[in-house]
Amino acid sequence: MGGSESTGRKVSFGLDEEDRVQVLRGLRLTDDLVNRMKESSAQRAQNLSPTSPSPPSPSSIPRGGPVPSESAKTEGPRGPSSGGSKQMPTYAEDELYRRYEREQAIIQEELARITKREHETAQERYRSAILREKNYTNQERQRAEHLVSFSSPNAVFVSI
Band (pLDDT 50/70/90 cuts) for residue 20 is: low
Report yes or no on 159 lying in a domain: no
For residue 91, the enclosing domain spans: 29-48+55-76+84-149
pLDDT of 62 > 60? The answer is no
Domain count, the chain: 1
Report yes or no on 93 lying in a domain: yes
Q: Does residue 136 contact residue 128 with C-beta atoms inside 8 Å?
A: no
Distance separating alpha carbons of residues 78 and 91, to the nearest angstrom: 9
Among the listed ranges 19-23, 58-62, 124-128, which one has the minimum average pLDDT value? 58-62
Among the listed ranges 25-29, 83-87, 90-94, which one has the minimum average pLDDT value? 83-87
CA angle 44, 29, 26 (to 5 degrees): 125
Q: Which residues pair with 15 in a beta bridge?
A: 21
* pTM value surpassing 0.75: no
**Interval 48-55 mean pLDDT:** 51
Report yes or no on 105 lying in a domain: yes
Q: pLDDT per residue over 96-108, tens digit each?
A: 999 999 999 999 9
Residue 160's SS3 state is coil
Report yes or no on 37 lying in a domain: yes
Report yes or no on 134 lying in a domain: yes
Report yes or no on 156 lying in a domain: no
Q: Does residue 77 contact residue 90 with C-beta atoms inside 8 Å?
A: yes
- What's the confidence (pLDDT) of residue 21? 62
Report yes or no on 96 lying in a domain: yes
Distance separating alpha carbons of residues 35 and 24, to the nearest angstrom: 18
What is the C-alpha R_g of the chain?
Answer: 31
pLDDT of 67 > 50? The answer is no
- Helix/strand/coil (H, E, C) string of 81-100? CCCCCCCCCCHHHHHHHHHH
